[in-house]
A = this chain, B = another copy of it.
Amino acid sequence: MKYDAVIIGSGIGGYPAASYLASRGLKVAVIEEHLVGGECTNYGCVPSKALYHIAESVKAIEKIGGRAEYNWTNMLEWAKGIVSEAKRGIEYLLKSKGVDIYYGKGVVKNPREVKVVLEGEVIELKANKVLLAVGTDPADLPNMRFDKQGIISNREALYLSEKPERIIIIGGGVVGVELANIYSALGIDATIIEVMEHILPFTDKDIALAVKMHLSNRGVKVLEKTTAIRAEKLSNGKYCVELSTGERLEVDKVVVAVGRKPKTNDIGLEAIGVGVDEKGFIKVDERLETNIAGIHAAGDVVGGPLLAHKALLESISAAMYIAGEEGFKVNYRLIPLTIFSGLEVSSVGLTERELQRMNIKYVRVKVPLSFLSAVKIKGHRNAFAKVLLNEAFNEVYGIHIVAPSASEVISAYMPLYLGKVAFKEASHTPYPHLTVSESLRDLAEYIVGEPVHFLKK
């Protein structure tokens, strides 16, 4: 079969390009070796946010002295239903637009030919253009290899068929923190092990500390500057994890969440000379094209922040270039980070850590958000907003919101970060009461003048 474009991977780096190109009238094939929708839909954002929604609701009921009674299996079945619906939605979208979906492993034979390999059978597809959106796999550790039963990744961690009593999470990054928040809310004894000085080591200490306090309040044990030396399977089916502190923990599951590795080692890249970096991520130019003309790449496999909304934009941008259109360049400065951790974190732009490393002088404006009734109701006393600006106050380097609903709220802050809305203007804008977004007005007012909800700075 001959296609205008063959896309390997139907995750959020792949399917949007397929959808776009098909709408433009191109003949498009998508190759998927595992599950349509990829990591985000099947093992990441979707199931985790489904369980997160339940977890936070359980905590809300407990806050008034109540108790949520529910069946673990029913909860998982419901979450699986959401995942399956999202997956079918993508399949339906692609099929409705006339995209052919091939199930099997996609291997690039040459810049104009892609093989689909499924159980020994091979289908050869001719391609005018190729988009590589194969994503990443979870990485394990030399001393803790995934066994898919007790030593597991995010892929199993969201589908535990029985409710465990104790879980240890190796790695205090976004995945580790989100899982610990969900587990603890659902009544599982959770421990996070983080080798660096603090959890969420890529962000600022005050942010990490607020999240740590929140997790600790929920009963999570957060061990920083600590390494897991080994995990041993016990005869009772449990695992014993030995820590660098000498402590030994007996747990039901060991979740290794220490990073991701690109799925680039067996898809034919070396043979045709597609350039990858030292970690195996595919190197692309601003147009998301690799060093081989006609082969583009998008999503997690090109590295950078491994975030769904970044992958989505790259996918559409690559599609435009593939279609020969005046595409747009992804604005990497603008990609927000969101952590769905009860006390949520959303950041856009630079952290203090980064500004200091870059020797950029900055002013920090930080206001507590506990004065907001929306925050009081959700019960997160240590919520705050932090804006990092230049000394003339006319350039925003970074905005960091640590508050419930921060993942929704950051979208309202983004125009301020971009300079599209001035602080003066925001200070006179009636963002609706009673929300967390209304913090934007207070923060702007604090920066430009007389804050009515605070004492003078």
Contacts and interface: CB of A to CB of B under 8 A. Distances in A.
B69 A69 contact: yes
Interface string A32-76: 000000001100011001100110111011011111111100110
A58 B452 CA distance: 35
Interface stretch (A249-257, A294-302, A390-398, A401-409): A401-409
Nearest to A436: B408
Contacts of A142: none
A132 interface: no
Query: Which secondary structure dominates chain A's binding surface?
Result: helix
Given A405-B405, A420-B421, A440-B411, A309 B430 contact: yes
Contacts of A405: 405, 408
A200 interface: no
A202 interface: no
**Most chain B beta carbons < 10 A, residue from A61, A70, A433:** A433
A16 B371 CA distance: 14
Interface stretch (A158-166, A219-227, A260-268, A372-380): A372-380
A75 B49 CA distance: 26
A456 B93 CA distance: 11
Nearest to A21: B450
A374 B85 CA distance: 12
A388 interface: no
Given A82-B377, A412-B411, A432-B407, A60 B66 contact: no
A447 interface: no
Interface stretch (A113-121, A133-141, A281-289, A310-318): A310-318
Contacts of A184: none
A19 interface: yes
Contact of A20 (B69, B415, B432, B452): B452
A24 B316 contact: no
A431 interface: yes
Contacts of A45: 373, 433-434
A70 B74 contact: no
A145 B415 CA distance: 49
Contacts of A58: 57, 61
Contacts of A61: 54, 57-58, 61, 68-70
A69 B70 contact: no
Contact of A97 (B56, B407, B410, B455): B455
Nearest to A83: B373
A339 to B, nearest CB: 10
Interface stretch (A210-218, A235-243, A328-336): A328-336
Nearest to A76: B64
Contacts of A85: 376
Interface in A440-457: 440, 450-456
A356 interface: no
Contact of A432 (B65, B309, B452): B309
A23 B454 CA distance: 10
A75 B64 contact: yes
B316 A452 contact: yes
A428 interface: yes
Contacts of A68: 61, 66-69
A16 to B, nearest CB: 4
B434 A308 contact: yes
A450 B56 CA distance: 36
Given A23-B456, A93-B455, A316-B428, 12 more contacts: A41-B373, A46-B377, A56-B57, A57-B57, A63-B78, A66-B70, A68-B69, A307-B433, A331-B429, A331-B430, A408-B437, A415-B415
5 contacts: A57-B60, A63-B78, A69-B69, A96-B455, A411-B411
